[in-house]
Structure 1
């Protein structure tokens, strides 16, 4: 009996993220990287696959799936062409620059029964994976609040979207994922201080379906690079640093008081602190392994297009709230 053949993969886009995808795909078990699309070609001469100028050239090589790492504004056009040709796709986040475009991509791939996912890489960060499983096990008790901070210098590779669609979609997706809850409302304020047409700083206050409060602070204007997620609940708080993939738990300690007037106040004091030892595999490699398995028909945990659509809807509501100067409700997804 002959061994199963490797999957034939293609890559579209050789920017900073595209080169990381190329590196991982080139060494991924069970996959052959057979071609890359980029109009500029291979500027380094180090790639282990031919670089072609157009998507039609890549399709002519015969591929089972493609990784879409081109600018966000091209996701819809590229994705629809891949779906029309029966090619599965892992599309970098955000899925699309608008809710309408995201809907069209969902329909294109679902109607053809193709495997498709979104590259929300934070889901594969070891600290957040551990955090999610601990929340699901009830280690924090009732969850009160999720706070994220994501800031750093402006990435010159980004030209077609602002900080909400590019960076804040990380936080929107990871918050819904680690809590297992949908966003129901957001209120946001944005500013642009870098002279670009898009916003480069956003502050968001939101609410999840179970009443959990969320806060996101995201910007491209700080020399300090920060990626933290803090989840506060009944028994303490978790702090995930996704730059270092560290997860720390700060436990609540009870406050005893003999002052009658304060007896009913449920206060807390500093308790034990635990920093967990977590196996740390590269998130991008794990993401590719999961998607490869899904294309092969195996049970696999990928970020579906509908989940990616939900994140785009929440990000769109953030931009709408900032433009209108008021909170915006986000309808829960239909159950069909």
Structure 2
């Protein structure tokens, strides 16, 4: 991800891209016009205002704490940390110093999900009953330090809480490992949010089909978001009876309207950086805070605990703030 962040930062209005840290060097040629440094200390010495942390998950805590000690704001790639304890230490380090810090949960910036969330907030669906996500595709060889729960399922955990504005109350999960690695590569999870909404997540690295599917079903119908194409459709509750008997077996006895919305489709990573830049400047910006990122790590840990113990895991109640001003 580092090279993609570098590409966006190098052209981001209001930001001077001044340096990169990578002990392996710039093998992708992503930062041709800035120094490529060996250590975080060298970057801090340049007098930076904020840093993007896009190293392996196991290093997020070490790098993040060093930046907090230097009073440098940080956008940390997801998941926030490898462990719940590490995530809490990062939250404490940045909050006690009053530093702006966020987590790169990029799905929050997907056009389809941003439109979906706005429509839910406007009450277009009425009461929300269920959120279902499917996130599957081929094995990503770049990931070696975590399994599918921390790398992929954290996307779905975060977006579910974000679009609904609710927190997870319980989760039950099953995992398997079929690729010969020590980490799990498939997970199926069923959970409940604090308002009773049901959630279902199916995530794997074992499918030749790449799919990014989110559906939210409620009182007035169902929203379906495809985050690969950034398309959002709405299927309304049945309004017209199907009188053609032969079709009833396939389509039910009644149908409602289906709408595919025309929405602006800006690059999610660019939107993420614009929001974080604005937050550092003290402007209102809807970023994923470290505390929200910590909650996602907590839920992911509960998923793995449930799979290990073969029982449902309850999560402590916590208010899920959805905006940062």
TM-score of the pair, normalised by structure 2: 0.93
Answer yes or no: is the 8 Å Cα contact 1:254–1:268 preserved in 2. Answer: no
2:7 corresponds to:
23
Residue equivalent to 2:22: 38
> Corresponding residue for 1:172?
157
Q: Which residue of 2 aligns with 1:294?
A: 279
- Counterpart CA distance in 1 for 2:29 and 2:80 is 30
Aligned residue number for residue 114 of structure 1: 99
Q: Secondary structure at the match of 2:178?
A: coil
Superposed displacement of residue 269, structure 1 = 2.9
2:42 is the counterpart of 1:57: yes
Indicate whether 1:78 and 2:63 are aligned: yes
Instruction: Provide structure 1 residue ranges, at least 5 long, that are not aligned to the other structure.
Output: 1-16, 258-266
Q: How far off is 1:46 after superposition?
A: 4.9
Q: Whole-Å Cα distance in 2 between the matches of residues 204 and 314 of structure 1?
A: 11
| C-alpha displacement of 1:270 | 2.2
Count of aligned positions: 311
Q: Helix, strand or coil: the match of 2:293?
A: helix
1:275 paired residue among 241, 260, 263: 260
- Secondary structure at 2:199 match in 1: strand
Change (3 A) 1:38 1:268: farther
Displacement of 1:59 in angstroms is 1.3
**Alpha-carbon shift at residue 44 of structure 1 (Å):** 3.7
Q: Is the 8 A contact 1:72 1:94 kept in 2?
A: yes
Q: Is the 8 A contact 2:127 2:218 kept in 1?
A: yes
After superposition, what is the alpha-carbon deviation per residue over 1:81-128, rounded to whole angstroms, capped at 9, x for unaligned? 000001000000000011100000000000111000000010010100
Q: CA deviation at 1:40?
A: 1.0
Aligned CA distance change for structure 1 residues 228 and 203 (closer, same or farther; 3 Å): same
Give 1:134-283 correspondences, 5 Å limit: 134-254=119-239, 269-283=254-268
**Distance in 2 separating the partners of 1:315 and 1:128:** 21
Residues of 2 paired with 1:94 and 1:42: CA distance?
A: 24
Given that residues 192 and 199 in structure 1 are in contact (C-alpha distance below 8 angstroms), is that contact kept between their aligned partners in structure 2?
yes
3-state DSSP of counterpart to 1:41: coil
d(CA) in 1 for partners of 2:167 and 2:58? Answer: 26
RMSD of the TM alignment (CA)? 1.6
Q: 1:29-70 CA deviation, whole Å, 9 max, x = no partner?
A: 111111100011122445231111111111121110000000
Q: Is the 8 A contact 2:6 2:30 kept in 1?
A: no
Displacement of 1:334 after TM fit? Answer: 6.5
TM superposition outliers: structure 1 runs of 4+ over 4 Å: 254-257
TM-score, normalization by structure 1: 0.90
Q: Distance in 2 between matches of 1:255 and 1:332?
A: 42
Structure 2 residue ranges without an equivalent (≥5)? 243-251
| Contact 1:203–1:217, Cα closer than 8 Å, also in 2 | yes
